[in-house]
Structure formats: structure tokens, C-alpha cells
Amino acid sequence: MRKQELYDRVVAYFSEAMPEVDTELHYDSPFQLLVAVILSAQCTDKRVNMVTPPLFRDYATAEEMAEATPEVIYEYIKSVSYPNNKARHLVGMARMLLSDFGGRVPDNLDDLVRLPGVGRKTANVIQAVVFGKSAMAVDTHIFRVSHRLGLVPDTCTTPYAVEKELTKYLPATVIPRAHHWLLLHGRYVCQARTPKCGKCDLVEICKEGVKKKKLGVKELRS
């Protein structure tokens, strides 16, 4: 199957299977989504959604969080991964939003990555989810699924390389949704250690699925 045909088939499948998709993080404003995405680094969305309600109750805006200290924010987020660093990042991010961006979350990559705790992946999530831009955030799920489905070659060994390959072949209009498609597929079906190939409708074009088929794995389409 040619590369573009593969992409077209994957897009067609997800367009039907997941026509409406969005982040599983809970938020009520661009600022709150930015906070949640920063917290989600090497942490599950489920855990983040457990700590953000009291955090957003008391620090719902950049103005409010900028008045806090990292020590105070730490008490709200201490159950997430790397809470000390993230507490510093959140306060620093809020203060920079006020000093450099008038309290508003910027809509472009260059400005977003200036913020403490914001790397390219986080910036792309904000661009896609908040501003509807054709930005592809690549996390571990998307990295894994993209390789297993053959959407990217083995030479794409970094998230940025995967991002460039995906955005090369995906229609710009579907890129914001494609991020969620691949992420959710990796989170719930194409899992790292025990992929649920028997529940996957893309198994016939998947490297993992083809390998299992050759080995005669009986549960492949059970």
C-alpha cells in the first residue's frame, strides 16, 4: 500500500469511528488547559483531572496564580509527577503571561515555548485545541501508534521527526483531530505492553498485527 493510501485509509477509519474528539483533560479556559497540559507531562490525564478542581477553584486565572508561590501550588499538585518542578513552572508561567502577554495565552509556537514548563508538545496541544491550528503534538502514544501503523518510518526516532512526517501526509484540516485519534487509540487499544489487536479495526495494516498474524496468534481478531 502506498503511503498516501495508508494515510487516507487511517483518516477514513477514524473519521467514522471518532467523528467528534477532544482532550480528556478538564478545563474552562485556555489558561486552565495550559495548566492541565503542563501537569500532564509524564502523568495520566485521570490523575491531572483529580487535582485540578481544587486548584482551579482557588487559582482559576493567570492573575490569581501569579500571586501564589510554588510552595502553595505544590500542595495542590503534590500527587502528580515532578510536583516541585511543575509548581515552579506554573507560577512562572502565570507571571510571564501577565508580564509579556497581557494575561492571555498566546496562539503561536514561538511565544508559547517561551513560557516556563512549555515545550513543543504542550505548545502544539494549545495551538490545536484552543486555536484550531494544524499543529500535531506527539506524545508517547502517538509516537508508538504512528510507528506500528507504518505511518512513519523507523528512521523517525524523535517526536519532532514523527510530527514532521505526520503533518506532511495528513490533510491540514484533520490534524487537530488526528492528534486525539492516535492518542486515544494508543491509550485504549494500541497499548504499549498489551495491544488489544482483537479489538482493532486497523490490525490488517498494522506492523504489530501483521507480525501476530504471521505467528498465528489466535486472539488476533477475537
For residues 80, 85, 88, 93, the Cα torsion angle rounded to the nearest 10 degrees is: -80
* Percentage helix, strand, coil for the chain under 3-state DSSP, each rounded to 5: 65, 0, 35
**Going by C-beta distance under 8 Å and a sequence separation of 6 or more, which residues neighbour residue 46?**
none
For residues 144, 121, 28, 73, the Cα torsion angle rounded to the nearest 10 degrees is: 110
Residues designated catalytic:
121, 139
**Going by C-beta distance under 8 Å and a sequence separation of 6 or more, which residues neighbour residue 159?**
120, 121, 138, 139, 143
The alpha carbon of residue 63 and the mean position of all alpha carbons in its chain are separated, in whole angstroms, by 26
- Say if residues 207 and 149 touch (Cβ distance below 8 Å): yes
C-alpha cell belonging to residue 103: 494575561
Closest CA to 159 of 146, 173, 178, 175: 146
CA 100 to CA 96: how far, in whole Å?
A: 6
Give the total residue count for the chain.
Answer: 222
